[in-house]
Amino acid sequence: MADPHMSAASPTAAPPMDTSPWLASFPADLRSRFLSSIRVRDLDDGRSIFRTGDPPDGLYGVVRGQVRLVMRFPGGQQLLNHVAEAGDWFGEISTLDGRPRLNDAICTGPTRIAHLPQADAERVMRDDPTFVRAMARLASRRHRAAMAFAGRTLTQPLSAQIAYALLSLTRKQGRAEHDLALRHEDVASIVGTSRQTVAVHLRRLGDRGLVALGYRSIRILDLAALKAEAHAAPDGHGMPSR
């Protein structure tokens, strides 16, 4: 179940509009109804918003900080399938279909979240088909991104997968440098290999001046070179080299 140490919700605070393109795309009347039901909470580093198997309790957005969405499998394997940042919304699948959560949602650093409770989400969906379509678009984007990444996993060398994973987590593509709050094990869980193997590849990227490695952080130094690395051709048989 969700972490019991969340702070009390505020019924009046709303997420900043300028960081949420999805929310900003709503018609004005729908946006007003949506925001009137939002609750905002502050959580500490490592707190769980929800866990795999929890019943749906609504839609979440990041106002400040980051939230890691992690799938867990029998045997202890983990897959980091998304890092939600300010303006991102998540939890739409269970909110739509009413089935249990498919992953864990864990805060990285102090995080402020916006929460649309399940009952309110269902009410807005019932009253306004525009919101149903908006939720479907949100789910569709997530599904397309997951399918695209799965395809790369089958066809690209590991070095390209790691570069692509870093790029996919870089929000502001126009900046020359960008800091990512990531550990080696986070990258490993994205590409499905060991932390030790990822460390070797990250050191190589660092030696080439593409990234700088810090404590629980990776700074992208050369965005253009990292993009070129992400689009490296697979080896001769079209399968990823490890």
- As a whole number of angstroms, the distance between CA 138 and CA 44 comes to 26
pLDDT at 192: 78
Per DSSP (E only), the strands in the chain are 39-43, 48-50, 58-72, 78-84, 89-90, 104-117, 178-180, 211-214, 217-220
pLDDT at 173: 40
pTM: 0.75
Q: CB–CB of 66/117 below 8 Å?
A: no
CA nearest to 141, candidates 60, 82, 217, 222? 82
Q: Give the residue ranges of the chain where pLDDT is below 50.
A: 3-9, 11-13, 17, 172-176, 235-242
pLDDT at 18: 53
- As a whole number of angstroms, the distance between CA 238 and CA 45 comes to 40
Question: Phi then psi for 183, rounded to 5 degrees?
Answer: -100, 165
Structural domains present in the chain: 21-153 (2.60.120.10), 157-231 (1.10.10.10)
pLDDT at 242: 42
Q: CB–CB of 211/219 below 8 Å?
A: yes
